[in-house]
Amino acid sequence: MIADALAGEIDLIVTKSVSRFARNTVDTLTTVRKLKDRGIEVFFEKESIYTLDAKGELLITIMSSLAQEESRSISENVARVNARRQQAGGYTCPINSF
């Protein structure tokens, strides 16, 4: 989608949340700036942020940093729980529900 936008085929990208746009703050800001330079707007629905708005980049930076930290924290917690299960003789098996 980013490639299509940069090619001029899309002028607005709507995404659910800053946390779903990219894996980290640097990637988010780099991509948003690249799009902004081409006049392409990104709208983050959950946070109601428009990237072409004057305060958009500041809000994106803050929200993206919070999302990155939350993702890191969740990952650490899952790893810690899995390690405890293994130490207790249990196992972790992903189960897909259909």
Angle at 18 between CA 34 and CA 54, to 5 degrees: 60
* pLDDT of residue 94 exceeding 80: no
* Domains parsed from the chain with CATH numbers: 2-87 (3.40.50.1390)
- What pLDDT, in 10s, does the model give residues 46-84? 999 999 988 988 999 998 998 888 888 888 988 898 888
pLDDT at 90 over 80: no
